[in-house]
Structure 1
Amino acid sequence: MIKRTLYFGNPAYLRRQDSQLKVIQPDPRKELASIPIEDIGVMVLDHPQVTLSQALLSELIASNVAVLSCNDKHHPVGLFLPLAGNSLQTERFRVQIAASEPLKKQLWAQTVAAKVENQAKLLERLGKDAKRLFALLPQIKSGDSDNVEARAARVYWQILLGEDNFVRERFGYAPNSQLNYAYAILRAAVARALVSSGLLPTFGIFHRNKYNAYCLADDIMEPYRPFCDDVVLPMYYKGEFCTDKLNSLQKAKLLNVLTADVEIGGKKSPLLVAISRTTSSLYECFSGDRRKIIYPDFYESRSLKSIS
């Protein structure tokens, strides 16, 4: 079953009743919706007057719902996840922490290759020339020692937005803000799936920043970033981003990335489900039951529109 992504951008009181999320409008007070908590995957709180009961928050966390809190600029800044998301968590932690450096370098090379290939395929979907990116794929070595990921990123963004002198950065003009929002949603979904698979989001296979509590999530989300780009860039090309601020309609479109169809393991799957397959396969790599992480590809039967 596809888990739902809920967005709250207006004042609301959220409470639990009979394993249902009750959405109450505060003034005038009335019930707006009743949603089974087991159906929820990600929940975004984007208004200072959204209030949650402790009973609801406890059950959301127990159900492995990723709850995101946004700041006054409407960007996700906080994430609630369960401390125990898998019945074999302690054993899986040990297996993850014991992973050898050569194994982690191999897994990172696979991750970079999947990201660059998806970037190249997105260029093709958008009617762009992807030859330079495909040419970089054979150059990826264990641990990406030649930093192909960064080289590919420069080529990728230059082809996509070079005419606009775009610089991909945390703070900057559109579509930076929109990309950051989509990536934050994706990061939360990946962290949720890692916890569900009994893995620590903190210990990465490549990222090692001691101030980052989600190093592994930042690793595993890399091949998924182009799926966010696939939502953001057509909106940008159509002139939908007049400012760096996102309106409710734009946020709704960006949140839909989690339900986008992808191909993973030769089968069509919603992106949120694919992420869980990826994190499950990652554990199997740590445990020695498989040698390669399962990453998604673009679902090719979808109607493509060339944008040039």
Structure 2
Amino acid sequence: MIKRTIYIGSPAYLKLKQKQLVVENPEDKSIKGTVPIEDMALLMLDHYQITLSNQLVIKLQGNNVAIISCDAHHLPFGVMLPLHGHTEHSDRVKYQLKASEPLKKQLWKQTVEQKIKNQQTLLRLNEKPYEQMDLYWQNVKSGDTTNCEGKAAQHHWKHLFENFTRERFGHSPNNMLNFGYAVLRSIVARALVSSGLLPVLGIFHRNKYNPYCLADDIMEPYRPFVDKMVYNYVTQYGVPEKLSKDCKAYLLNIATQDVWIDGLERPLMVAVTTTTASLYKCYYGELRQIKYPELD
């Protein structure tokens, strides 16, 4: 069953009743809606006047639901995850800690290659210059020592949107990309925890201030799926001046986008769990190739 993403964007009191999330209007105590906890994957809180009961938080964490809080700019700011989400957590972490540098460099090489291939496909599908991307993904070295990822990214952003510069706080549609990537990061972090891995221990990213280094690594080949959604939105509706509720509702559908992975078409959220499960098997020594999605 496809897990649901729940977005709360107005004042609300959230509580637990009969294994369901209950959304209550704080003014008149009326019930605005209910959702079974077992159906949820992400809960996004996008208003300062939202209150959660601790009983609800514990139940959400027990079901591996990622709780995402947004900042004043309505962008995902933090994510709350359970400390562990797999019965073999401690054993799996041992293999993650023992992963050799050559293995991690090979995994990063595979990650960069698939990211560039997906970027190339997105350009090709939209009749943008894509041929040069062959040069980048075919020449990725172990650990991407020649920075093919960065070179491919420059080409990707130069041609995907007109008169566009990809910046963290740049003009729209940067805000849509930022929002989509933040949601994607939460999905990946949740899947890593459910696979018994620590999101903080990356295969490439090593920033000591970043608690989600591994999530930032594994999400890279999935980023073009966010790019695709943003491109389609801009093509149909134009570049939005601000990140409206409609934009956010549209981007939250990233979790249910169909992707090809391991020879099957699956929702992105399910595909991510396939990726994180294969990552553990690479750590364990059962696989040599991490499973990533193919954009088509």
Deviations 1:102-153 (A, max 9, x none): 0000000000001000000111222212111122221011111111000000
RMSD: 1.0
User: Distance between the aligned counterparts of 1:241 and 1:141, measured in 2?
Assistant: 37
- 1:219 alignment counterpart: 217
Give per-residue Cα distances to partners, 1:275-305, cap 9 Å, x unaligned: 000000000000000010000112x4xxxxx
SS at match of 1:26: coil
Q: What CA distance in whole angstroms lies between the structure 1 residues aligned with 2:70 and 2:179?
A: 10
Equivalent position of 1:111 in the other structure: 111
TM-score norm. by structure 2 comes to 0.98
Confirm or deny that 1:228 pairs with 2:229.
no
Q: Which residue of 1 aligns with 2:133?
A: 133
- Give the corresponding residue for 1:266: 263
Identity %: 51
User: 2:174 aligns to what?
Assistant: 176
Equivalent-residue separation in structure 2 for 1:286 and 1:130 (angstroms): 34
Q: Is the 8 A contact 2:40 2:65 kept in 1?
A: yes
CA contact (8 A) 2:136 2:149 kept: no
Q: Which residue of 2 aligns with 1:98?
A: 98
Contact 2:181–2:223 (8 Å) recurs in 1 = yes
Q: Helix, strand or coil: the match of 1:297?
A: coil
| 1:274-285 correspondence to structure 2 within 5 Å | 274-285=271-282
Q: Which stretch shows the higher mean deviation, 200-209 or 17-26?
A: 17-26
Paired AA for residue 244 in structure 2: N
Please point out which of 235, 251, 255 is paired with 1:254: 251
2:85 corresponds to which residue?
Answer: 85
Matched to 2:228, the amino acid is: D
Equivalent position of 1:27 in the other structure: 27
Tell me the CA shift for residue 230 of structure 1.
0.7
Who is 2:187 aligned against? 189
Alignment coverage as a number of residue pairs: 296
In structure 2, C-alpha distance between the alignment counterparts of 1:45 and 1:119, rounded to whole Å: 31
Give the equivalent residue in structure 2 for 1:291: 288
**Cα distance in 2, alignment partners of residues 41 and 115 from structure 1:** 25
CA distance in 2, matches of 1:221, 1:29: 40
Amino acid across the alignment from 1:266: G
Q: Deviations over 1:239-271 (max 9, x none)?
A: 44332x211111110000110000111101000
**Contact 2:173/2:240, CA 8 A, preserved across alignment:** no
Matching residue's letter, 1:167 = T
How much has 1:29 moved relative to structure 2? 2.2
SS of 1:74's equivalent in the other structure is coil
In the alignment, structure 2 segments of 5+ residues that lack a partner are none
**Which stretches in structure 1 are left out of the alignment for 5+ residues?**
301-308
Which residue of structure 2 aligns with residue 203 of structure 1? 201
For residue 76 of structure 1, report the CA deviation from its aligned partner: 0.8
Does the CA-based 8 Å contact 2:192-2:198 persist in structure 1? yes
SS at match of 1:15: strand
Superposed CA offset, 1:145-196 (max 9, x none): 11100000001111112x41x2211111011111000000000010000000
**What is the identity, as a one-letter code, of the residue corresponding to 1:292?**
Q
| Paired residue type of 2:141 | K
2:138 match: secondary structure? helix
Letter in 2 for 1:193: A
Q: Aligned runs of 1:45-84 on 2, under 5 Å?
A: 45-84=45-84
- Cα distance between partner residues in 2 of 1:39 and 1:241: 33
Describe the SS at the equivalent of 2:129.
Answer: coil
Alpha-carbon distance in structure 1 between the residues aligned to 2:32 and 2:126: 40
Correspondence for 1:123: 123
Paired position in structure 1 for 2:157? 157
